[in-house]
């Protein structure tokens, strides 16, 4: 329940910030184009706070935090006094109207740059993207590994972290090949690193984001520090807790077979749902035997597996793989702008791949997934929350640029037609477009919500 309220609170904070940035973009440009703004509202429904500004605008925070709006004086909506006609939105030139409407999405992109700028100034603890193995018969199996290698670039795009690798790979879903540039980990301290580029054949690449990451689906084995079979975490009400296993116990034997590695142990547990397994542990220098019956649980493939609810002790990351991703005052601007541009490019590519079928509509996420992401990122710390809201801000800006008449992009479409034809799109045509756009948007929201509930 605490996690639910934390996620909900983080979601409301994130959404409130992003909506404010978006609507302020409309508001700021409208005021400079001489349009009278009657109301600036964050949220819909009944007002929980309101204030009349000296500028004649009513500022409102409403009860339903799922959007916002800027109400401008407009003769198409209400009667306008003769002395205020020149301040009506509809009386402005088409280029002024284009500027006002496009200012919302543009504000979202500017906000993303600002959030990333602060994130890079603070710095984020990061891990270098190092691989130590590849999966047989996978696209990555052509990579010959003698020692761990760091991924330096993906199809020419420089990458420094696993997040950047993930983002770069996603943008190439549906491509026939991907180039991976590598450098030996042992050489990373040198100035002239021996780089090699390997071309992966991705024509048969199958990627399901609900089951795995694009990294592992390509067959790239992520380097992880060694695992100590000393129990670090025991889940509440788990089979391990009921069996009397304690934090600090060290696993040495399972079903009469000496412990070799954690994966082999997990395989035994998962294949023993509702079956007794015997574990030998070392506790305070003494050997003890416990019997555990793994609980049955279905995995993402619908297969029944056993779980006992324990986690081992993770060895620390090597010093030469850890670094602080941070920049100076000026370089942070460049890095934040570049990252925002990458997010914009990837987002547009994903929309394109949705239409071509390279990416399934099952990948669409709605407010529940966003709330979970907001809660998770906020729990990790400020820098992670800043990165998350920058990503959502970019996506909010792009979604609003889609040429659906109920969105900013739909209004822009009508205005650009007006620029070309020299006259406004007929109101009846606009009304039909608004109805079609609303129906399509509701359908997309329905699919996203269905996907959210399916992931719970």
> Vertex 149, ends 148 and 151: CA angle to 5°?
145
Work out the angle between the directed axes of helices 427-455 and 367-380 (0-180°, nearest 10): 60
115-141 exposure pattern, b = at least 16 Cβ within 10 A, e = fewer: bbbebbbeebebbbbbbeebeeebbbe
Q: Which residues contact 72 (CB under 8 A, 6 or more apart)?
A: 30, 35, 36, 37, 38, 88, 89, 100
Q: Are 125 and 290 in contact (CB under 8 A)?
A: no
E-assigned strand segments in 303-371: 304-307, 310-314, 322-325
Rounded Cα–Cα distance for residues 323 and 328 (Å): 15
Query: Pick the catalytic residue: 23, 58, 210, 212?
Result: 23
Residue from 70, 71, 63, 69 nearest 12 by CA:
63
| Residue from 18, 27, 31 nearest 114 by CA | 18
Residues in a beta bridge with 44 = 64
Per DSSP, helices labelled H in 359-426 are 367-380, 382-401, 408-421
- Report whether 273 contacts 296 (CB < 8 A): yes
Element at 25 (helix H, strand E): helix 2-32
Q: At what angle do helices 94-122 and 382-401 cross, to 10 degrees?
A: 160
Active site residue 23: yes
Output DSSP code: residue 204. T
The rounded Cα 150 to chain-centroid distance in angstroms is 24
Q: Which residues are catalytic?
A: 23
């Amino acid at each position: 329940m605490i996690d639910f309220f934390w996620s909900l609170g983080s979601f409301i904070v994130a959404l409130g910030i992003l909506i404010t940035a978006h609507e302020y973009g409309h508001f700021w440009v409208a005021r400079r184009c001489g349009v009278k703004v009657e109301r600036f509202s964050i949220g819909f429904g009944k007002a929980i706070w309101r204030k009349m500004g000296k500028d004649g605008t009513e500022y409102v925070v409403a009860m339903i935090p799922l959007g916002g709006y800027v109400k401008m004086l407009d003769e198409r909506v209400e009667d306008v006094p003769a002395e205020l006609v020149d301040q009506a939105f509809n009386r402005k030139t088409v280029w002024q109207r284009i500027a006002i409407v496009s200012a919302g999405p543009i504000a979202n992109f500017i906000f993303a740059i600002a959030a990333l700028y602060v994130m890079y100034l603070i710095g984020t603890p990061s891990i270098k993207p190092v691989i130590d193995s590849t999966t047989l018969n996978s696209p990555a199996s052509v990579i010959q590994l003698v020692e761990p290698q760091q991924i330096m670039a993906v199809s020419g795009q420089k990458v420094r972290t696993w997040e950047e690798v993930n983002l770069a790979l996603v943008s190439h879903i549906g491509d026939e090949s991907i180039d991976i540039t590598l450098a030996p980990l042992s050489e990373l301290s040198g100035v002239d690193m021996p780089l090699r580029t390997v071309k992966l054949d991705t024509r048969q690449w199958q990627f399901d984001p609900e089951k795995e990451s694009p990294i592992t689906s390509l067959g790239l084995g992520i380097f992880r520090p060694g695992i100590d079979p000393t129990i670090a975490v025991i889940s509440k009400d788990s089979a391990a807790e009921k069996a009397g296993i304690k934090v600090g116990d060290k696993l040495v034997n399972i079903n009469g077979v000496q412990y070799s590695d954690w994966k082999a142990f997990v395989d035994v547990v998962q294949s023993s749902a509702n079956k007794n397994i015997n574990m030998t542990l070392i506790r305070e220098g003494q050997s003890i035997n416990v019997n555990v019956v793994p609980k049955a649980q279905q995995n993402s493939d619908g297969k029944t597996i056993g779980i006992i609810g324990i986690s081992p002790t993770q060895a620390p990351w090597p010093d030469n793989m850890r670094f602080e991703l941070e920049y100076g005052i000026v370089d942070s601007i460049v890095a934040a702008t570049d990252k925002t541009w990458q997010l914009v490019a990837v987002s547009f590519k994903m929309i394109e791949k949705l239409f071509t079928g390279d990416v399934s509509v099952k990948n669409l996420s709605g407010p529940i997934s966003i709330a979970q992401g907001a809660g998770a990122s906020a729990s990790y710390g400020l820098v992670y929350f800043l990165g998350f809201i920058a990503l959502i801000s970019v996506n909010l800006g792009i979604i609003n640029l889609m040429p659906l008449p109920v969105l900013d992009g739909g209004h822009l479409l009508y205005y650009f037609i007006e620029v070309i034809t020299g006259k406004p799109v007929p109101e009846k045509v606009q009304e039909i477009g608004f109805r079609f756009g609303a129906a399509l948007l509701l359908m997309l929201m329905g699919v996203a919500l269905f996907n959210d509930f399916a992931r719970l």
